[in-house]
Amino acid sequence: MKKYYLLIVVTFLLFSFFAFAVIGNSQTDEFAFYAYNSSPVTDWDPSVEFSNGIVSLNNVYETLLRYDPLEDKFVKLLATDYATSSDGLTWTFTLRKGVKFHDGTNFNADAVKFSVERTINMNKGASFIWAPVDKVNVIDDYTVEFKLKYPAPLDLICSSGYAAFIMSPATVKSHPDSWLTEGHEAGTGPYLLESYQQERGEVELTWFKDYWGGWEGNHFKKAVIKDVSEAVTRHLLIEKGEADITIELPYEDIASLQDNKNVNVLIGPSFQNLILFFNTEKEPLNNKLLRQALSYAFPYEDVVSYCLEGYGRQGRGPVPYGLWGHSEELFQYKYDLNKAKELLEKAGYAKGDLKLLLTYMSGDEAERKTVELFKAKLAELNIDLEIRGMPWESQWALARDNNSDKRQDIFIMYWWPDVCDPHCWLYSNFYSEEEPFFNLCYYKNQKFDSLVDKGFKESGIDRNKATETYIDAQNILVEDAPVVFIYDKKNIYSLNKTFQGFKDNPAYANVVFFYDTYREK
């Protein structure tokens, strides 16, 4: 007995430690909990942030206008009205009165001028969206005028989710830039940044008492956005009712969540699409017929059914479904192995016998599954597709290698808008580039370029004309097949059934505007 004395004591201590910890109770206080799949902020500086941070910044800062792409109209936030001159070069905004910044100062035209100019001058992040702006003029305290170098859709630009935030000049000027980046804010939005714990990936928001929208009715007064990178954990948090809203759950889980009485599943279009880029400068993919053959060999339906579990649709042209500039009349390739073989023969590769290198972003399940399906289909045509997962930076560096022979044959990536404008795809991904940047099919077509330029200018004056021009440009793309438009992603939000008031806005990817939400038991 004495021999085991020590062992008994230790076991008892451990047991009581365990028991003490496990037995307990819980309490409820009202706050909204958004279980986000990544870090909720990268850089708190509103002029710089170009990444996930918009989910946090859009609750703390506001823009002049907010765009609702599903109804194609603008919600007036900090601006109550706006007008364009007939040549499209002057835009005048009337600003809202009685708006206060979190530091107590008043919102006025000076603040708008300051914010826009600061963003342009810092030249970081998405500041390039302001490129058409020549001058910002203060007419009076509540009227601001933008003078443009060439016509451009300024209403879309200033409702962008990035780089269009209005900040308090008083606060920003009295601190160095790093103060904002560290985790401070100077906005007008409905929420204050209560605390930011980077090591825990947590952003805590508290209500701003003097918000111009007022707090009558139902609004959450506290909200938390937390980085929960494990998909399984997010799923369980929603199922157990511990989290209110989450995204990016495995598609396979959605069906069971829809059956769950405590969970609401919201499915809607997003403006994110997955595109496969062919290296049109290197053999063998500089051969248009070969590219078209591969476009017919891609298993579009399988990818949507098995990788997305049906939550997506095959891409039709570069502009995603639901955004203006998208056309259902565009030609769409379909999976047809016979047609693919025909074109392969015409291209001179009747026996296949090709080796191609494809890189995708390692860690991205959807991309991996998609390329594995593609690989299997190409194997049937006797084409050996090597699929290589690489970190994004390495993949991108390889595609921009100075030695163009080293670059990969196929590059796959997602694209999503900074401004809700087809120009975003057509320009960034297909406009001729001297040195490759995001035109990773290295496509160089002057006719196409001139159509894109024309369309951009038209969009500042007459949206319909611009749409027509853009559709012409897209037709050229589809014919030349420098890329495969794989799918347009759908946004799937899983919500706790007591979490009400949320409406998805694909123009602000994954942003939850907590002000509109409330709890209903």
Q: 423, 432, 339, 350: which is closest to 383 by C-alpha?
A: 350
By C-beta, is 265 or 373 nearer to other proteins?
373
Q: Min. distance of Cβ 144 from other proteins in angstroms?
A: 26
Q: Min. distance of Cβ 468 from other proteins in angstroms?
A: 28
Q: 77, 76, 64: which is closest to 145 by C-alpha?
A: 64
Q: Min. distance of Cβ 201 from other proteins in angstroms?
A: 8
By C-beta, is 75 or 376 nearer to other proteins?
376
Using an 8 Å Cβ cutoff, are 65 and 77 in contact? yes
CB count in 10 Å sphere of residue 7: 9
By C-beta, is 123 or 286 nearer to other proteins?
123
By C-beta, is 362 or 500 nearer to other proteins?
362
Rounded distance between C-alpha atoms, residue 509 and residue 119, angstroms: 21
Q: Min. distance of Cβ 83 from other proteins in angstroms?
A: 31
Q: Min. distance of Cβ 436 from other proteins in angstroms?
A: 9
Q: Min. distance of Cβ 396 from other proteins in angstroms?
A: 6
By C-beta, is 274 or 387 nearer to other proteins?
387
By C-beta, is 253 or 480 nearer to other proteins?
253
Residue 470 tokens, joined: 């853009």
Q: Min. distance of Cβ 269 from other proteins in angstroms?
A: 21
- Which residues fall within 8 angstroms of residue 458, CB to CB, at 6 or more apart? 151, 465, 466, 469
Q: Min. distance of Cβ 28 from other proteins in angstroms?
A: 7
Q: Min. distance of Cβ 19 from other proteins in angstroms?
A: 10
Residue 507 tokens, joined: 């123009």
Rounded distance between C-alpha atoms, residue 512 and residue 55, angstroms: 7
By C-beta, is 172 or 307 nearer to other proteins?
307
Residue 52: in which H helix or E strand, if any? none
Q: 305, 304, 285, 308: which is closest to 295 by C-alpha?
A: 285
Rounded distance between C-alpha atoms, residue 148 and residue 145, angstroms: 10
Using an 8 Å Cβ cutoff, are 165 and 64 in contact? no
Please give the sequence-ordered ranges of beta strands (E in DSSP) within 106-256, or none if there are none: 133-140, 143-148, 191-197, 202-207, 222-227, 245-246
By C-beta, is 288 or 375 nearer to other proteins?
375
Rounded distance between C-alpha atoms, residue 374 and residue 299, angstroms: 6
Rounded distance between C-alpha atoms, residue 480 and residue 292, angstroms: 8
Q: 491, 424, 370, 413: which is closest to 37 by C-alpha?
A: 491
By C-beta, is 396 or 508 nearer to other proteins?
396
Q: 155, 180, 47, 169: which is closest to 105 by C-alpha?
A: 169
Q: 126, 181, 114: which is closest to 159 by C-alpha?
A: 126
Place of tokens 């430690």: 17
Backbone angles phi, psi at 80, to 5 degrees: -95, -15
Burial of 429 (0-12, 13-18, 19+ CB in 10 A): buried
Q: Min. distance of Cβ 480 from other proteins in angstroms?
A: 24
Q: Min. distance of Cβ 42 from other proteins in angstroms?
A: 6
By C-beta, is 141 or 380 nearer to other proteins?
380
